[in-house]
Amino acid sequence: MPNIGHGGRGVHMNKLRRIVFNVALYITIVGIIAIVLFLMILFVMKLNVSALSGGSDKPICVVIDPGHGGEDGGAVSESGIVEKNINLSISMCLKDYFEMSGIDVIMTRADDRLLGEGSTVGEKLHNDFPKRLELYNSSDADFVVSIHQNKFTSPEEHGAQVFYGPADIGSERLARCIKRSLNGLLQPDNEREITKAGSNIYLLNNCANPCVLVECGFLSNPKEAQQLDTYEYQRQMAFSIYCGAMEYISNSKADTASPAKNSLHVITDH
């Protein structure tokens, strides 16, 4: 009998080997492509992140300052929403986004407290700003983002506003990037222009690094206060600020300053 059976099994084995070989080849090619793509993404991220430090290997470092804390609650809404808690929540989200991008973060506080020490609340408050300013002016920091909530006598006022420090030209560019991102991602109708910090905003006025203060919204507006009190909106707010900051990092030659228009002068709680 011709050995049909064995010959048939041989053909099957050859086919099987070919299939196994093709699958292995396919997996190898896909694997190589995935690794190359991953390395390219890492390279692009590294380029972005090192843009501010002139291409050096030093990672970008951001100071995030959740305003107030501890005995100093900041502004309070009519329904009892306290500013310090919203500031901290938005700041912690912001910290996550930056760290996911390989950016170092210095938090002025990561829990509910004042930085100043003392035996009385007055002493703690008195010693708080110098401690924060020390971190603002940290030599490692590339820029500072301070998070606050606004309050005004009229309950109609609403929308975020970005203030910037006068010392470094980068402050205004950073503010403009964050403002643009807030408009694009969260508040398309917000016409509040970026504003140079008045002398009443001590930290911004005494900060040598590029620095901004984002008043995320008005606790005096019941609707906006309620919105600011939700974790979902806090994350959206943090993401918008993060995207603006990333644009600032990526494009160190960002737009040059133009005079602020339609500036609505608001009272800040600092």
Contact footprint for Zn ion (CB under 5 A): 67, 74, 148, 269
Measure the CA–CA gap between 12 and 169, rounded to whole angstroms.
73
Closest to Zn ion by CB, 163 or 248:
163
Nearest to 86 by CA among 202, 243, 246, 214: 214
Our CB check for Zn ion shows the closer of 73 and 184 to be: 73
Q: Give me the least distance between CB of 81 and Zn ion, in Å please.
A: 13
**What is the rounded CA–CA span in Å between residue 110 and residue 118?**
19
- Per-residue tokens: 130: 């110098």
User: Least distance in Å: CB of 195 to Zn ion?
Assistant: 15
Residue with tokens 């090619």: 29
Residue 74: CB minimum distance to Zn ion, A: 4
How many helices and strands in the chain, by DSSP H and E? 7, 6
By beta carbon distance, the residue nearest Zn ion is 148
Q: How far is the CB of 82 from Zn ion (least distance, A)?
A: 11
Question: In which region does residue 102 sit, left (phi positive, over 0), alpha (psi from -120 to 50) or beta (all else)?
Answer: left
Provide, rounded to whole angstroms, the least separation between the CB of residue 163 and Zn ion. Answer: 11
Least CB distance to Zn ion at residue 260 (A): 21
Q: Measured in Å, how far apart are the chain's first and last C-alpha atoms?
A: 101
Q: How far is the CB of 206 from Zn ion (least distance, A)?
A: 17
* Amino acid letter, 83: E
* CB closer to Zn ion, 60 vs 214: 214
Identity of the residue, 83 or 247, whose beta carbon is nearer to Zn ion in the bound complex: 83
Q: Please state the closest distance from residue 224 (CB atom) to Zn ion, in A.
A: 15
Which run of H or E residues covers position 242? Answer: helix 231-250
What whole-number distance in Å separates Cα of residue 22 and Cα of residue 32? 15
Nearest residue to 148 (alpha-carbon basis) of 213, 95, 230: 213
- Whole-angstrom Cα distance, residue 129 to residue 125? 7
Structure-token match 């492509």, residue found: 33
* Rounded CA separation 130/230 (Å): 31
Which of residues 82 and 106 has its CB atom nearest to Zn ion in the complex? 82
Tokens of 25: 């080849």
Q: Please, which residue, 48 or 149, has the CB nearer to Zn ion? A: 149
Cβ distance to Zn ion smaller for residue 74 or 165: 74
Measured from the CB atom, the residue of 59 and 155 that comes closer to Zn ion is 155
